[in-house]
Amino acid sequence: MKNKLKQKSVVDFNKFGLLIVLVVIYLLFGILTPIFKPGSNFFQFSRILSALNYAYFIGFLALGVTFVISTGGIDFSIGPVMFASALIAGQCLVYYKLPLWLCLIIACVVGLLFGILNGYMVAYRFLPSFVTSMASMQIAKGLGSVFTRTQSVTWPPRGEPNSWFRNLIKFGSVPTGLILLMVTALICGFFLFRTKPGRYILCLGSNKEAVRLSGVSTKKWEMLAFVICGLLAGVASIFYVGAYATVQPGLGDAFNNEAIAACVMGGTSMAGGKASIFGTFIGALIIALLQEGILALGFSISYQYVLTGLIVLIAVIIDSKKNIKSV
């Protein structure tokens, strides 16, 4: 009984605590910015909008990878897959002049196909997800480059024809992207915690063999987690180009770590079986805020890599401590 109460309070503190962390980081940057760069102000709406631009695509990536991590697996291909989607769909739009709606679907389909590839290899061919996703990361990078002949692709800027997709990010001064991300997070949460496939995905992460020996077709559900993850990486690409327009081939791996960091920071266990969609959402906001703040302070973006690396380490240490305690 005691044990149960303790476990519950840990979860609640995490949710509440993460929000506090978000606010504290925001205030911290607000105080530090004028000190490092006299005359500049962090407390501006434009800063928030800029941070949100970063939060959208990281958020979609992180939501997707939450499913994979819930099964006890990992996906290191999401960043490059997102870039491959953006490059291939962008090339279709700019070079082959396909209609915009079709290009947006193509972006999602490219992500989906990578999800299917990863999921099939892991669930049906029994390859470790670590290795599989490393391989598909390379494939995604290469494919994007080949398709665009190693050229960068620039999606149409606001005001030009075929630019209505930018309204997905911001409509007037309404951050529509935030609304869409929140709606997606709600759907993900509902799917993971309230539906049968979601339950199976979480159970797989707890004890895959016990689930199989209970008569569940584990392969199907394990694959599904990767497919969702791939699809959301495709969706993320729309929000990336909605905010930043230009995509360069051969990149994207940095976002893997940031999305996984958001996920783990939010309380999803790397060992599988335990997940928090709310945590992932707040985690993505924190990552975006860090990125924005570090730039505002005038530091190079490389510092952010150091910071996310450290965050992952700390989050995993906390997580593994929890696990050890329960043994």
Partner 1 sequence: MSDVILTMKNINKQFPGVKALSDVDLEIRAGEVLALMGENGAGKSTLMKILTGIYKRDSGTIIYNGEEIEFSNPKAAQDAGIVIVHQELQMVNHLTVAQNIFVGREFKNGLMIDDQKMNEEAKKLFDLFEIEIDPKENMGNLTVGSQQLCEIAKAISFDAKIIVFDEPTAALTEHEIQHLFNIIRRLRDRGIGMVYISHRMDEIEQITDRVTVLRDGEYVGTIITEESTKDEIINMMVGRTIFEEPKQFSNVPADAETVLEVKNLNQGNRVKDVSFNLKKGEILGFSGLMGAGRTETARVIFGADKKDSGSIILNGKEVEIENPTDAVTLGIGYLSEDRKRFGLMLEKNLYENMSLASLDDFVSNSVINEKLERKIASEHVVSLNIRTPGVSQFVENLSGGNQQKVVVAKWLIANSDILIFDEPTRGIDVGAKQEIYELMNDLVNEGKSIIMISSELTEILRMSDRIVVMCEGRKTGELSIEEATQEKIMHLATKRD
| Separation CA 148–CA 25 (nearest Å) | 39
Binding range to partner 1, per CB under 8 A, among 40-48, 118-126, 200-208, 239-247: 200-208
State yes or no: residue 194 binds partner 1 (CB under 8 A).
yes
Minimum distance from residue 149 beta carbon to partner 1 (Å) = 45
Q: What mask, x for binding partner 1 by CB under 8 A, covers residues 68 to 87?
A: --------------------
The three-state secondary structure class of 96 is coil
Minimum distance from residue 221 beta carbon to partner 1 (Å) = 11
| Separation CA 315–CA 63 (nearest Å) | 17
The three-state secondary structure class of 123 is helix
| Separation CA 255–CA 111 (nearest Å) | 15
The three-state secondary structure class of 153 is strand
Query: Contact with partner 1 (CB under 8 A): which of 10, 36, 99, 196?
Result: 196
CA nearest neighbour of 100 among 90, 114, 109, 88: 90
State yes or no: residue 324 binds partner 1 (CB under 8 A).
no
| Separation CA 234–CA 103 (nearest Å) | 11
Q: What mask, x for binding partner 1 by CB under 8 A, covers residues 209 to 238?
A: xxxxxxxxx---------------------
Instruction: Give the nearer residue to partner 1 in terms of CB position, either 195 or 246.
Output: 195
Instruction: Give the nearer residue to partner 1 in terms of CB position, either 97 or 194.
Output: 194
Q: Phi and psi (nearest 5°) for 155?
A: -75, 150
State yes or no: residue 1 binds partner 1 (CB under 8 A).
yes
Q: How many residues bind partner 1 (CB under 8 A)?
A: 26
Residue with tokens 């199907």: 220
Query: Contact with partner 1 (CB under 8 A): which of 47, 166, 170, 274?
Result: 274
Binding range to partner 1, per CB under 8 A, among 111-119, 198-206, 231-239, 312-320: 198-206
Instruction: Give the nearer residue to partner 1 in terms of CB position, either 166 or 274.
Output: 274
Instruction: Give the nearer residue to partner 1 in terms of CB position, either 39 or 215.
Output: 215
The three-state secondary structure class of 98 is coil
Minimum distance from residue 255 beta carbon to partner 1 (Å) = 30
Residue with tokens 């398709």: 147
DSSP labels, 200-251: HHHHHHHHHHHHHTTT--HHHHHHHHHHHHHHHHHHHHHHHHHHH-EE-TT-
Instruction: Give the nearer residue to partner 1 in terms of CB position, either 166 or 208.
Output: 208
Q: Where do contacts with partner 1 occur on this chain (CB under 8 A)?
A: 1, 3-4, 7, 194-197, 199-200, 202-203, 206-207, 209-217, 273-274, 326
